[in-house]
Amino acid sequence: MTQTVLEKAFRDVVIANRILAHEGVVDAYGHVSVRHPLDPTRYLLSRSRAPELVERGDIVEFDLGGKAVGGDTRAPYLERFIHGAIYEARAEVQAVVHAHAEAVLPFTVSTTPLRPVMHMASFIGAHIPVWDIRDNFGDTNLLVVNMAQGRDLARGLGAARVALMRGHGFVAAGRSLPEAIRIGVYMPVNARVLLGAMRLGRDRGARIDEARRPGHGSVLGVLGRARGLRRFAQRPDLIWPRGASS
């Protein structure tokens, strides 16, 4: 049973990578992780590889400090510290997505806030913080490359589900892997809708009480967390796009 639970977690990380790549949320540099189902002081994340190509053998166990467990010497993602720092700060978080979706980027560098304006994105939260690495680390290449920066980002995220990263992208923290995937998928969709509405004039958006109801009118309530991932898992065309092998 223990091995079955762990193997499922490895497989789910592979599926999550394929979904996010298929939906255009992550490019060659985005990544998704899940907290280790048997050891909360570890997490599962692919080695440094384009998400649409990730396979079971690419998944590596890391401790919260970003060190590969078991001496795996393959190149890791430079920004793995994002994941460990959030798991360290938030015991309820079970999955983390980091992406550079282009539609979201304007809201990371402008004073216009990104907020939910459609029912499928109501669960991203009424107020989305913007974290700026420059505030505490000066001029950098904007990448989160150590635990000090990761912990600062985790503080910027606070209790929110999502934080924007100035000139960089966003991070999403889910209470389950399906929740993190949904947040990741609908963040850029919502951003595109909001940008389109702004071109037309004042938008109506989602009310604050609507944004605080993740089970009402959202994909979380319609599909359920576990059912949603199983649905994707049953659709090979969503998991293995462009003919990529498993």
Distance CA(238)–CA(23), nearest Å, equals 9
d(CA 29, CA 46): 11
Q: What is the DSSP letter of 62?
A: E
Please report which residue ranges of the chain form alpha helices under DSSP H: 2-22, 81-89, 105-109, 134-137, 147-157, 177-200, 208-211, 219-223, 225-233, 236-239
In contact, 51 and 31? CB cutoff 8 Å: yes
Q: Assign 98 to helix, strand or coil.
A: strand
Query: CA 66, CA 34: separation in Å to the nearest integer?
Result: 13
Orientation angle between helical segments 147-157 and 81-89, nearest 10 degrees: 50
Task: Tell whether the torsion through CA atoms of 232, 220, 170 and 80 is positive or negative.
Answer: negative
Instruction: Verify whether residue 61 is a known catalytic residue.
Output: no
Q: Which of 7, 52, 55, 79 is catalytic?
A: 79
Integer Cα distance of 24 and 102 in angstroms: 10
Q: Which helix (H) or strand (E) segment is 107 a member of?
A: helix 105-109
Residue in this structure with the two tokens 């590889």, named with its chain if needed: 49
Which token pair is 171? 């991070």
Residues belonging to the active site: 79
